[in-house]
Amino acid sequence: MSNTRFIGGDVLAVIFGLFLRWCISLQSYSGQDSPPMYGDYEAQRHWMEITVNLPTKEWYFNTSNNDLMYWGLDYPPLTAYHSMVCGYVAKYFNPDFVKLHESRGYESINHKLFMRASVFISELLTFVPAICLYFSFSKSRKTESFKSVSKENMSDSKTRLSSTLMVTIALIYPGLILIDYGHFQFNCVSLGLFVFALVSIIQHNYIVSSIFFCLALSYKQMELYHSLPFFFYFLGLCYNLWQYEGFKQGLFLLFIIGSSVIMTFLLVWLPFLQEKKTTFQVLHRLFPIARGVFEDKVANFWCCLNVFYKIRNYVSNDSMAKICLFDTVFSVLPSCVDLFLNPTFHKFKLSLINSSLAFFLFSFQVHEKSILLVSIPILLQFPQDQFPCFWFLIISTFSMSHLFMKDNILIPYIGLTVFFYLFILSALDLKSIITTSVISAQTRVPSFFGRKFMLNIDFCRIVKWVFHLSMLGCLIITVCSLTLEPPEKYPDLYPLLISFYSFIHFLLFFIYFNFSQISSKVCVKLKMN
């Protein structure tokens, strides 16, 4: 009876999440009625046109039939295959949707319905089941608890989260809904494959996990944000197996994981590996150094630094790419080393947060939408650290608000964000989750940092006020950007304010989650299916 109730609750959560998605899909999309380039909606449609009408060898090359300056394909092969499948379905319903050359900028009610449905069905097959399975399996996992760690209140029912509640929270997160169903993208596919990889780890099936992650990486290269934790986690497991079970066992695990990775990439990339020229062209399209260190106004270090020091005027793109690579590796290294030495699932999830945040803050060619790569690990960590995760999810959505304004989905953005905020506060007791997080953090502070002194300070009240001020800041910036014209001298004032304000938050979250990972101590248990 209990399992039936949980399944029924999850089904209702999924239905509600899908309902919200379809409501948002009725709104405007990126580049609607905006020739000649339109926006990401047209980019996705154009990729369907290209992959359906041209041979594979021409997909990534500039030809008379494939103008790379007009939304040229710049995602890995699995995205191209997905576009091709969608393209053939589109061609079946209406050949005009993907007619070569003639379908550029194609817009109609029926086409919008098809495009929205393509995202809807894609998510229904990937992200939605992955999230449901993750929280279902996590709840039954002995090493994971759906209860926040608190010395004072271990039995408080407000700190316990059911799988149904977590599925609901994950499926009503505004950021992903607004980007995929408002702006228009297929982030749900790569993120769903990523979550499936974690589900496989929970089941101790490391081979399947590595396959899923390779598929995610072969769908969107931004999954590199998560690649280092996967590498060091699996390497750490092999090393631990070598230490406790013997060299052969550790080497065998490393061999089968490595083999599954190589075979998966070979199968997905095979059509593009037959000629060196084709392989390098695909890689060139995936990593376009010429585009510069960032696009538009993004809440990362380089965009904020550019306000005071015009990077592009003094540093070449090639040099900047090397600087970004060094800074990113340096910032993510402590988390990865800690994960290698202590390869637990708890630390692995935190390392995913820290790695993706490091990439977002310091890497090259960052988009504002890339914050979703941090938000999904945050959602997965939510049951264990509810307050900072809740806070982060609000700020992550706010950081993309300028994009939502450009896409004319401001009202859905405000409505969905307010609903998400109120839903969390109605489901959880704010004071309780703040207290839990503060006490948990205080007890992990080393004694030489003055832990006894810190325990005497009412940090709970301080954190609560800082949180409310943070939310007030988001509200003030949003209202000002809607009601007050920026000075003529500073036309990008509000986008920069949004970026800088969000960046400060992200930097503090980066410090906090690194501290959470490195200070946590969990025993290592290795099991294989």
What's 89-157 look like in SS3? HHHHHCHHHHCCCCCCCCCCHHHHHHHHHHHHHHHHHCHHHHHHHHHHHHHHCCCCCCECCCCCCCCCH
DSSP 200-233: HHHTT-HHHHHHHHHHHHHH-GGGGGGHHHHHHH
Residues 305 and 233 in one domain: yes
1: confidence class by pLDDT, cuts 50, 70, 90: very low
Average pLDDT, the chain: 90
Residues 51 and 131 in one domain: no
Does residue 497 fall inside a structural domain? Answer: yes
Whether pLDDT at 149 is above 80? no
Residues 483 and 417 in one domain: yes
Does residue 114 fall inside a structural domain? Answer: no
Does residue 442 fall inside a structural domain? Answer: yes
157: confidence class by pLDDT, cuts 50, 70, 90: very low
> What is the tens place of the pLDDT at every residue in 451-510?
555 555 678 899 999 999 999 999 999 999 999 999 989 999 999 999 999 999 999 999
Residues 79 and 210 in one domain: no
Separation of alpha carbons 186 and 169, rounded Å: 20
Report pLDDT for 156: 38
Does residue 133 fall inside a structural domain? Answer: yes
Mean pLDDT of 256-275: 96
- Alpha carbons within 13 A on the beta-carbon side of 486: 13
**Burial environment of residue 105 by CB neighbours within 10 A (0 to 12, 13 to 18, 19 or more):** middle
Does residue 4 fall inside a structural domain? Answer: no
Closest C-alpha among 30, 118, 6, 4 to residue 367: 30
- If phi > 0 it is left, if psi is from -120 to 50 it is alpha, else beta; for residue 363 that is beta
> What is the tens place of the pLDDT at every residue in 386-443?
999 999 999 999 999 999 999 999 999 999 999 999 999 999 999 999 988 888 887 7
162: confidence class by pLDDT, cuts 50, 70, 90: confident
- If phi > 0 it is left, if psi is from -120 to 50 it is alpha, else beta; for residue 342 that is beta
Residues 72 and 221 in one domain: no
User: Which residue segment(s) compose the domain that 201 sits in?
Assistant: 10-27+127-140+164-519
Residues 471 and 452 in one domain: yes
Mean pLDDT of 34-63: 95
User: Which one is predicted more confidently, 151 or 473?
Assistant: 473
- Alpha carbons within 13 A on the beta-carbon side of 238: 18
Number of domains comprising the chain: 2
Whether pLDDT at 199 is above 90? yes
Tokens encoding 469 = 């001020």
- CA 348 from chain centre, in angstroms, equals 15
Residues 38 and 136 in one domain: no
Does residue 387 fall inside a structural domain? Answer: yes
Separation of alpha carbons 418 and 443, rounded Å: 33
Residues 224 and 340 in one domain: yes
Residues 432 and 159: beta-carbon distance below 8 Å: yes
Does residue 55 fall inside a structural domain? Answer: yes
Residues 235 and 258 in one domain: yes
Residues 21 and 66 in one domain: no
Tokens encoding 506 = 């992200």
Residues 194 and 251 in one domain: yes
> What is the tens place of the pLDDT at every residue in 511-523?
999 999 998 875 5
User: Lowest-confidence range among 152-166, 354-368, 434-448?
Assistant: 152-166
Mean pLDDT of 71-88: 97
Whether pLDDT at 154 is above 50? no
SS3 call for 366: strand
DSSP 331-365: HHHHHHHHHHHS--HHHHHHHHHHHHHHHHHHSSS
Residues 60 and 206 in one domain: no
> What is the tens place of the pLDDT at every residue in 93-132?
999 999 999 999 999 999 999 999 999 999 999 999 999 9
Residues 264 and 211: beta-carbon distance below 8 Å: yes
Does residue 360 fall inside a structural domain? Answer: yes
